[in-house]
Structure 1
Amino acid sequence: MTGTAAQCLTLEAARRELGLRREEFTLGIEHGVIRTCWSGGELCVRAGEVVRWRAAPGELAELTRLVHATETAGLAGISRHRFDQLARAGAIRPVRSYTNRCHAEVWQYSAAGARQLPERRPELFGARLPGCPAPGRRVGLQERGAVLVEPEHGALLALLGVTATVRAPPPASKAISRSAPASR
């Protein structure tokens, strides 16, 4: 191997070395926790990055851990009802979703993001919700799953082989013109 190639690991090799599940590893890359680079036209992780995170495995596991709504509310120090209000308003955004066996959509949130929420958005933890918690959004609408994947992550996700989950609004109804049948 050449010097550059020996210093880089493929994404799969780095994931195995770090002991992460695929979704945790992908989340770490998306949020910039695990730094990547290009080597020979392929996205890879430098060996030094793997060594750095192997020295602190608990910290990496916490930064890439996904939790459900109840645990997210507990980590943020708010009630489940308050969490639901904030999530529906779009103030708390999920990082993943999946459909369970009962065909219900299940939202997953970043554990590290839930812990940092009171510091980042203290106005959401007052006695009442301040008007509209997310700027540019209307109160009362379900905004939680409007877009799970930001556009800049689309190319990265394609390289990782992850299908981007983007929720599009239903198509507008088309007016069907009914003209008189053609004469034969």
Structure 2
Amino acid sequence: MSATDSTGETAMSGNTITPARAEAAGTFTGRTSSTSTLAPSRAARELDLRRGEFDLAVRLGRVRTVPHEAGGSRRVPRAEIDRVRAEEGFPEALRGWVETVGTRDGAALMGVTPGRFTRFARLGLVIPVKWYVNRYRAVVWLYLAEEVRQFAAARENARLLTGRTPEGLRGQLEAGVDLRPRNWRGRHIGFELRQAGDPWAKAAVVASLLDTVRMAEIVPDPHERAHLDRLRPARPGNPAPGSPAAPIAARIMTAQDPDEIEWLRAELAQALTEARRHRPAPRVASVPPGGRLTVPVCPPAPADDAILPRTDPPGQHSATRPGPTRSRVMLGWLRRRET
């Protein structure tokens, strides 16, 4: 089901999600007491990183974490801090791995216009690693600077950096191709699955990318759905329910393409089989009437190049064929409760 690529994270391609970078999977699984571990904020200071840089280093597998024995946020073993600090080129090399750029700076690194860089990203040729919603409710995509440099330096990409965009790629852009949300979801689910502690947590990661209607079809038991709801990862940026950023975050976090949805449905069914075999879901005192949650429909985002597009094309995570399939997908917002 998996294969390694060079992006340093994961990518979702058709019915496959491909974990990448072997060291990224090397998270510790044993629980460690606070006497031998550091809180993320303290670990960031010891590694000379800003907190956002530290969080990205964890996501990329550059800094490994362990669950805390008392629950709550994961922690960093003292031995891991010493290992990272002993690496050659510390701290500059570590900062280089987590450096991110937006469209303008990414274009400057490639030596192309911002418009051309955006087209590369929409086609899946460069893959976002982070995003945020600015005050204008526009989605700002961020990319790893090192990946941008590698793309620009690759000989096979030289023809894309100058001259006209090849006709096949132009056709896909004219048809509305935009793979940024889908490719980001591929990276996100890879990280969350590596951090998940048990089969139920892994199932919750997969379920978090499906809207509540589809999840209810696969998970008819309301107690199981409530358990998955409690375990689901927090949305990036953790926007407050009802805030302007909440529906945008929900849209990015919800699978849109039919083939992506079908892959997630199959993965969730398999994950549930393993989770039920591991242990039954706890029975909760109460569930929503009928065992269903309200599913709000996200309004379309304003038209802007940086705004989340309305459609993604089916097929692979890098654009290979035209003709996006438009579908209206009901998007769910589930409030996450601490476990």
SS class of match (2:180): coil
Instruction: Identify the residue that residue 184 of structure 2 maps to in structure 1.
Output: 148
Instruction: Identify the residue that residue 99 of structure 2 maps to in structure 1.
Output: 65
Structure with more of its chain in strand, by fraction: 1
Q: Structure 1 residues 163 and 23, CA, compared in 2 at 3 Å: closer, same or farther? A: farther
TM-superposition CA deviations, 1:112-162 (whole Å, max 9, x none): 22222235x5433315656767xxxx5541222235233232354999x85
* Alignment RMSD: 3.5
Instruction: Identify the residue that residue 49 of structure 1 maps to in structure 2.
Output: 80
Q: Which runs of 5+ in 2 are unaligned?
A: 1-31, 197-204, 206-230, 237-248, 257-297, 299-326, 331-339
- Tell me the distance in 1 between the aligned counterparts of 2:106 and 2:37: 35
Instruction: Identify the residue that residue 117 of structure 1 maps to in structure 2.
Output: 151
Answer whether contact 2:40 2:76 (CA < 8 A) is retained. Answer: yes
- The Cα of 1:38 is off from its aligned counterpart by 4.6
SS class of match (1:142): coil
Q: Which moved more, 1:92-101 or 1:146-155?
A: 146-155
Q: TM-score, normalised by structure 2?
A: 0.41
Q: Structure 1 residues 17 and 77, CA, compared in 2 at 3 Å: closer, same or farther? A: same
- Within 5 Å, give how 1:20-59 maps onto structure 2: 20-38=49-67, 40=69, 43-54=74-85, 56-59=90-93
Q: Aligned pairs, how many?
A: 166
SS class of match (1:149): helix
Answer whether contact 1:89 1:132 (CA < 8 A) is retained. Answer: no
- Tell me the distance in 1 between the aligned counterparts of 2:234 and 2:168: 33
- The Cα of 1:19 is off from its aligned counterpart by 3.2
- What percentage of aligned pairs have identical amino acids? 29
Answer whether contact 1:76 1:116 (CA < 8 A) is retained. Answer: no
Matched, 1:108 2:180: no
Q: TM-score, normalised by structure 1?
A: 0.69
TM-superposition CA deviations, 1:62-120 (whole Å, max 9, x none): 2112211111122234443331221111211111111212222211111122222235x
Q: Which runs of 5+ in 1 are unaligned?
A: 175-184
- Tell me the distance in 2 between the aligned counterparts of 1:132 and 1:27: 34
